[in-house]
Structure 1
Amino acid sequence: MKEAWSKEAFMMELRKVGEARYHDKHPLHLRMHEGKLLPAELRAWIANRFYYQKNIPVKDAIVLSKLPSKEDRRLWLQRIIDHDGREGDEGGIEAWIRLGEAAGIPREDMVNERLVIPSVRFAVDAYVNFCRNQPWVIAVASSLTELFAPILVSQRIAVFEELYPWIRPEGLAYFRGRLHQAPRDADHGLELVLRECTSRREQELAIAALSFKCDVLWAILDALSWSAPREAAHRHEQLGVV
């Protein structure tokens, strides 16, 4: 039987997954950050990514229902509030809809998911079902892509402001909120995984879960790379989105 990694070594192994497989290295994402996406392509990314965003609190509610302590449930609950919002603070899902509006996508077309392509829906549903069917700590491990998000989000704000000025600036509020939410969430998730995964087998399962989540994010961009230029342009033409 393999000896368990120390917490420091385990954390390094988790970070290696992001260094190798996080979706910031996907060709479509690289093109986005180089300012090379056409308006129809960026709108397709926004509209399809919304299906992922709206399912994050669903995933978090599943994890919340499995957490064994009230202390951890209290902390995890904030994730759901951040996305679903509450009175006086509409939350991240509403902020993403407003990003779509700022990019020229009608609210109705965001909310009714008319622009979501089937392969994106399949990938996101697979992630939610993974979290539903796995032990809670493995589901938490899959969420640790948050470890790699803050730098990316900070870069994305600058990229959108400079290279896609046709997106109204108020649409970037979602990303600004994630600058402080993602590090907080990542710290709590990492604490749980480091605390609970004490055997080498558990640690390897956590790494596999994080790899799976990276695959989900990569698959979304793969789907858009193949389908978005044609399909988004066709759907936008049908719907009158310029």
Structure 2
Amino acid sequence: MTGPVARPLTRERFAAALHDLRGRYWDTHPFHLRLHSGGCTPPELRRWVANRWYYQLCLTRKNAAIIANCPLPEVRREWSRRLAQQDGTADDRGGLADWLVLAEAVGLTREEVTDQRHVTRGVRFAVDGYLHFCQTRPWIEGVAAALTEMFSPDHMAQRVTAWREHYDWIDPAGYAYFEHRIPDARRDSARTLELVLDHSTGAARQQAALDALAFKCDVLRAMLDAVDYGADR
């Protein structure tokens, strides 16, 4: 699909238009291409992991914002699963705890990740902008922005395969985050798409959903710009 939504799209055409934004996802960014081809040095890979921590921290807050903005109890109950899924459990299993295991697996200490000393200004700006979007825009636009998870499961599976091949110095325990997240993302993305198709009715709302997903793709790519050029702290 090209151009703005001038008249309401059928459900099928709207779904196709959302999927057409696949080309804007961050897996085509030059840094990610290097990351998956074995072209990154250990410091570059660590910089990606350390900066991605700031994004991981944002996810529960943006999901809470979507819940707070949503007037539908059934949607709030469903979306609330994501809070524990992302934060993990009280006994440090899953979610953020898994990401810290990944950090240690690539040679970072937990302290240097959690104190955010490696997070660039560009990553902070992009992630904070995403959080602000979800806090201030209608709930269904926040949900639409989350549709990048349609594109992520295959990408994460490819990442694990590529890293095992090219970066054999990484402790295999670090892959737990991706191995846990992939099935969740496959399940969640299907339901997220259904919500967007159900609640983004009319040309204006469909355009807003497309714009939200495009914005999220831009956020992710802006993060990689900052990581790639890495000296803007």
Please state which band the TM-score falls in when normalised by the shorter chain: over 0.9
Does the alignment pair 1:51 with 2:54? yes
Give the Cα–Cα distance (whole angstroms) in 2 for the partners of residues 164 and 36 of structure 1: 10
Q: Deviations over 1:59-112 (max 9, x none)?
A: 001111122222212221111111112234622111111100111101100111
**2:144 maps to amino acid:** A
TM alignment of 1:70-219, pairs within 5 A: 70-88=73-91, 90-219=93-222
**1:63 maps to amino acid:** I
Contact map agreement 1:48 1:120 (CA 8 A) in 2? yes
Give the Cα–Cα distance (whole angstroms) in 1 for the partners of residues 100 and 154 of structure 2: 23
Contact map agreement 1:79 1:185 (CA 8 A) in 2? no
Contact map agreement 2:60 2:83 (CA 8 A) in 1? yes
**2:14 maps to amino acid:** F
3-state SS in 1 of match to 2:8: coil
**2:79 maps to amino acid:** W
**2:175 maps to amino acid:** L
Contact map agreement 2:141 2:212 (CA 8 A) in 1? yes
Give the Cα–Cα distance (whole angstroms) in 2 for the partners of residues 7 and 99 of structure 1: 39
3-state SS in 2 of match to 1:98: helix
Q: Cα RMSD (Å) of the superposition?
A: 1.5
Instruction: List alignment gaps of at least 5 residues for structure 2.
Output: none
User: Structure 2 length normalisation: TM-score?
Assistant: 0.94
Contact map agreement 2:94 2:180 (CA 8 A) in 1? no
Give the Cα–Cα distance (whole angstroms) in 1 for the partners of residues 91 and 112 of structure 2: 24
Instruction: Tell me by how many angstroms 1:205 deviates.
Output: 0.8
- The sequence identity of aligned pairs, in percent, is 44
Give the Cα–Cα distance (whole angstroms) in 2 for the partners of residues 162 and 112 of structure 1: 31
Contact map agreement 1:137 1:193 (CA 8 A) in 2? yes
Number of matched pairs: 229
**1:64 maps to amino acid:** I
Instruction: List alignment gaps of at least 5 residues for structure 1.
Output: 232-242
Map of 2:224 onto structure 1: 221
Residues 77-86 or 32-41, more deviating: 77-86
Map of 2:14 onto structure 1: 10
Give the Cα–Cα distance (whole angstroms) in 2 for the partners of residues 32 and 205 of structure 1: 32
Q: Deviations over 1:99-135 (max 9, x none)?
A: 0011110110011111101111110000000111100
User: Structure 1 length normalisation: TM-score?
Assistant: 0.91
